[in-house]
Structure 1
Amino acid sequence: MTVMGIIGCRIFEDEIVHVLANDPEAEKIYLIKNEENIGLLHKLKSQGLDPVVLPFYELRTYLKQSDEFSIIVQLQEIGLHTDPARLKSKTYTNLNLMSRFADGILLFYGLCGHAFSRMQKDFSYFRCSLKLLQDRSAGEPAQPLEDCIAAALGGNSRYREILKSNSDTFFLTPMWAGNWKTAFRADEKFFPGFEFTPENLRELGYRKVAKVNTGLSYEPDFEKKIEEFALNFGFEVVELKGSKEIAQESYILMQKMLLNPLKA
């Protein structure tokens, strides 16, 4: 029995649906029972998959009864990036829980403001493999992604290049477009002394919103939500070609490490 764990931000919900729906090796999918996995559950079912939903404490019993390649998924709330200490603490707690069952854990996160910059050192005692999403751009050594937008745009280098000519642009992927109010706590204080308002965003220099089209269509009404955001903030809409390749490649690499360690 081989078990792969996935811990990720809900922002990567669509990418996780994509890799699981297109993986013939994933014989059994387990979702940890909590509200953050509800959207993922619905989307997986819409793709014809039938994941088992259960709490952590019941996992061992189910896994003992299976010789299949199994995936365990635990998503975390959108908006944790606004509090790096809380993001790190919550993720580390889930890593410790997941490591009791998984042979390898893939985190659907970038460095997120260096919240995970010490992760490998902090978990050097783990018996299981542990990886963040990896940027494997041609001609460059593999390195973690800066954040989820870098992943959606195809890597750190392309992200930096795009920022040079789009420094006044706010980037939205499908999941960001559908959840920005929650992610940025639009009804609360985003940071102490800062409110997520059109006036404050304009003061920070934003004038445009980028529709980052990753080619994934699990999240409905992407274009409508972008238009609503643009209207609300008085921004011009620009469209950027996105990518799902980094999520796909990182997933395949972890799977190969677990199923064919001598060939990975």
Structure 2
Amino acid sequence: MTVMGIIGCRIFEDEIVHVLSNDLEVERIYLVKNEENIGLLNKLEAQGLEPVVLPVYEIRACLEQSEEFSVIVQLQEIGLHMNPSRLRSKTYTNLSLMSGFADGILLFYGLCGHAFSRMQTDFAHTGCSLQLLQDRSTGEPARPLEDCIAAALGGSSRYREILKSHSDTLFLTPMWALNWKNAFGVDDELLPGFEFTPENLKELGYRKVARVDTGLSYEPDFEKKIEEFALNFGFEVIEFEGSTEIAQQSYSLMQNMLLRPHLKPENILFKKSLKSFST
């Protein structure tokens, strides 16, 4: 039995659907039964998958009777990144539960205010491999991404380069566009004293909204939501080509580390690139 866990922000819902629906090796997908996983469940089922939805303790009982390669997913609420200490507390609670029966856990998060800076040390006693989304775009040693927009744009270095000439731009992926109020902490005590209005955003220097197209189409209203946002705030709409490469690479590396620990990361990525080229 090999068990891979995923704990992530709902912002990465589409990327998780993508990697799971394209994984030919996963034999069983479990979703922890909670409100945050409802959208993920609907999208996975729309792709023809049949996830098993159970409370954590029932998932553990099922795994004890199984020899399959299984993936367990626990998504967390959008907006936790606005409060790193709350994000760390919530994630640590779920890590404590999942690390008891998972061989490795991939966190669909970036650095997020360094909320996870001590994660490896704090969970070293569990023997469970833990990994944040990894940025390998520069050819240098892998390092955690800055945030979810960096993941969508293909890496932190490309994100920083884009920001040099687009510092007046808010970047929205499909899940950001549909959930921007929660993602930005609007109507929440996380932004005390700040009203999310066109006037205040323009005072901060924002003039544009970028539609980051990752090539995923699980949210058909993406373009409509971007237009609504732009109209509401009086912003110009621009577009950037994104990708799912970092999500896919990070998932593949964790999966192969669990199923094929003898392979080096660079060999895993090389084989994957050959496969993509041949198809």
TM-score exceeds 0.5: yes
> 1:234: Cα distance to partner?
0.5
AA partner of residue 252 (structure 1): S
| 1:104-143 alignment runs, 5 A limit | 104-143=104-143
Q: Does 1:201 align with 2:233?
A: no
2:176 — aligned with what?
A: 176
Q: Distance in 2 between matches of 1:138 and 1:36?
A: 33
Q: Does 1:19 align with 2:19?
A: yes
Q: Distance in 1 between matches of 2:188 and 2:143?
A: 35
> 1:196: Cα distance to partner?
1.4
Q: Distance in 1 between matches of 2:113 and 2:188?
A: 21
TM-score scaled to structure 2, two decimals?
A: 0.93
2:275 — aligned with what?
A: none
Cα deviation, 1:116-169, whole Å, max 9, x if unaligned, reads: 122112222221110000001242110000000000000010000000010000
1:225 — aligned with what?
A: 225
AA partner of residue 35 (structure 2): E
> 1:183: Cα distance to partner?
1.9
AA partner of residue 224 (structure 1): K
> 1:220: Cα distance to partner?
2.0
Answer yes or no: is the 8 Å Cα contact 1:5–1:72 preserved in 2: yes
Q: Distance in 2 between matches of 1:169 and 1:117?
A: 28
Q: Distance in 2 between matches of 1:231 and 1:189?
A: 26
Q: Distance in 2 between matches of 1:263 and 1:164?
A: 38
Q: Distance in 2 between matches of 1:70 and 1:168?
A: 43
1:238 — aligned with what?
A: 238
AA partner of residue 114 (structure 2): H
AA partner of residue 90 (structure 1): K
1:70 — aligned with what?
A: 70
Moved more, 177-186 or 90-99: 177-186
Structure 1 residues 166 and 193: CA distance shift in structure 2, 3 A = same
Cα deviation, 1:186-224, whole Å, max 9, x if unaligned, reads: 234551211211111111110000000000111121100
Q: Distance in 1 between matches of 2:252 and 2:127?
A: 20
AA partner of residue 255 (structure 2): Q
> 1:27: Cα distance to partner?
0.4
Q: Does 1:9 align with 2:1?
A: no
Q: Which runs of 5+ in 1 are unaligned?
A: none
Moved more, 159-168 or 197-206: 197-206
Secondary structure of the structure 2 residue equivalent to 1:13: helix
2:40 — aligned with what?
A: 40
Answer yes or no: is the 8 Å Cα contact 2:28–2:70 preserved in 1: yes
Answer yes or no: is the 8 Å Cα contact 1:12–1:175 preserved in 2: yes
> Identity rate of aligned residues, in percent?
79
Q: Distance in 1 between matches of 2:108 and 2:53?
A: 20
Alpha carbon RMSD of aligned pairs, Å?
1.0
Q: Distance in 1 between matches of 2:185 and 2:191?
A: 9
Q: Distance in 1 between matches of 2:81 and 2:261?
A: 33
AA partner of residue 199 (structure 2): E
Q: Distance in 2 between matches of 1:199 and 1:235?
A: 11
2:94 — aligned with what?
A: 94
Moved over 4 A (4+): none
Answer yes or no: is the 8 Å Cα contact 2:120–2:130 preserved in 1: yes
AA partner of residue 81 (structure 1): H
Q: Which runs of 5+ in 2 are unaligned?
A: 265-279
